[in-house]
Amino acid sequence: MMQDEILKILKERSEGYVSGAEFSKALGVTRASIWKHMENLRSIGYEIEAQPHHGYRLINTPDKLLADEIRWSLKSRFIGKKIYSYDSTGSTNERAYALAEEGAEEGTAVVAEEQSGGKGRMGRKWSSPKGGIYLSLILRPSLVPTEVSKLTLVAAVSVARTIRKLTGIQALIKWPNDILINRKKLCGILTELKAEQDMTAFVILGIGINVNTKQILLPKQATSIHNEIGRDFPKVELARALIESIEEHYILFKKDRFKAIIDEWKNLSAVLGSRVKVVVHNRTIEGQAIDLDEHGALIVRLDNGFTERVIAGDVMLV
Ligand code: BT5
């Protein structure tokens, strides 16, 4: 697209000006048409200076989850190669699911600035106002459906690591799908799948992170990166780093190195060693979370001395 070409040149030459003549020579269009594209970019939020005798210069890039912005300098190989981005959508997981059914390839990403029907697990809702990152990835691993929950741990490790690396926040993982800071929820992960004859057709990995979200728009036990570091954090940069990290950990996982993920997970765990209540279906068990086994199940030692292995459930830190 012409607009992408223009942006590419502006970004590569952001130190100086690029004249209208240079643009029209490089791209084979009139200067009037270049001017129109500049107006369009401005309306999206790009700040572009125009100097009569020098030309155009990119001053500021909007921190919007635009596909091209995320892809710019993205170092991953297949995750995020194709990105669909929305200003607003119902649920990125549902968009991704529909795309996967139409045959979208592994690594396809769907991202939105806000969701009107963000989903949590078991029919719960995910508050998705502007300011957060709502990202869903299509994966096509060869896994039996019962193994797919391992990918939630892969994603959790990737999110926690990325947030720590970029913001310095001591993010921890609460089994199975929450990222916490000081016991408040910063991120949730929703892993969905389509199975066909006991094989997994595809997996949708959905991740919601409160980045610059206004605190009053979040549930009580939630926090955001802004809230923790006291300023806005660039969402695009975070989304890009997250995609790269997920790819790295996913490749590790596919190389049969789930053990390495488990070890990393244990280092980042907010639950191991703590007293927990776990709701499993309609039953609640209470005890000490003592381990994560090689399948990613949580091992809880009950007060009566017995241990239970939990594959799916909700954990509360007591
Ligand atoms: C989750 O569910 O934590 C999974 C959330 C996944 C959201 C992503 S966003 C991109 C993709 N598209 C979707 O539609 N979904 C995924 P669960 O463990 O069931 O937790 C849900 C509970 O977290 C709610 O019942 C609230 O108590 C709380 N909650 C809701 N919105 C929140 C938010 N923005 N921040 C922190 N906590 C929230």
185 C-alpha vs ligand 1 centroid, how far in Å? 9
Average pLDDT over residues 278-305: 94
Average pLDDT over residues 2-23: 92
What's the pLDDT tens digit per position in 254-264?
998 999 999 99
Q: Which atom of ligand 1 is nearest to the CA of 178?
A: 3
Q: Which atom of ligand 1 is nearest to the CA of 188?
A: 3
Say if residues 234 and 62 touch (Cβ distance below 8 Å): no
Q: Of 3-7, 149-153, 287-291, which gets the smallest average pLDDT?
A: 3-7
**Which regions of the chain does DSSP assign to beta strands (E)?**
47-51, 55-60, 83-89, 109-115, 133-139, 172-174, 178-181, 184-196, 199-209, 275-280, 283-292, 298-302, 307-310, 314-317
The average confidence (pLDDT) of the chain is 96
Say if residues 169 and 182 touch (Cβ distance below 8 Å): no
Instruction: Give nearest CA residue, ligand 1 atom 21.
Output: 120
Is the pLDDT reported for residue 231 higher than 90? yes
CA distance 224 to 214: 8
1: confidence class by pLDDT, cuts 50, 70, 90: confident
Phi/psi at 221 (nearest 5 deg)?
A: -85, 25
To test the pocket of ligand 1, the residue of 84, 126, 134 to mutate (highest count of ligand atoms within 8 Å of its CB) is 126
92: confidence class by pLDDT, cuts 50, 70, 90: very high
111 C-alpha vs ligand 1 centroid, how far in Å? 15
Is the pLDDT reported for residue 281 higher than 90? no
What's the pLDDT tens digit per position in 178-222?
999 999 999 999 999 999 989 999 999 999 999 999 999 999 999
What's the pLDDT tens digit per position in 100-143?
999 999 999 999 999 999 999 999 999 999 999 999 999 999 99
Which residues lie with the beta carbon below 6 Å from any ligand 1 atom? 91-93, 115, 118-122, 124, 126-127, 134-136, 177-178, 185, 188-190, 206-208, 210, 218-219, 222
Is the pLDDT reported for residue 244 higher than 90? yes
Is the pLDDT reported for residue 69 higher than 90? yes
117 C-alpha vs ligand 1 centroid, how far in Å? 11
- Provide the CA 142 distance to its chain's centre, in angstroms: 22
- Provide the CA 249 distance to its chain's centre, in angstroms: 14
% of the chain exceeding 90 in pLDDT: 94
Q: Which atom of ligand 1 is nearest to the CA of 119?
A: 14
282: confidence class by pLDDT, cuts 50, 70, 90: confident
CA distance 32 to 35: 5
Tokens 């279906």 sit at which residue? 281
188 C-alpha vs ligand 1 centroid, how far in Å? 5
197 C-alpha vs ligand 1 centroid, how far in Å? 30
pTM: 0.95
10 C-alpha vs ligand 1 centroid, how far in Å? 38
Both tokens assigned to 163: 């947030």
Is the pLDDT reported for residue 79 higher than 90? yes
CA distance 86 to 74: 19
263 C-alpha vs ligand 1 centroid, how far in Å? 25
Is the pLDDT reported for residue 2 higher than 90? no
Report pLDDT for 308: 95
Both tokens assigned to 254: 């596919």
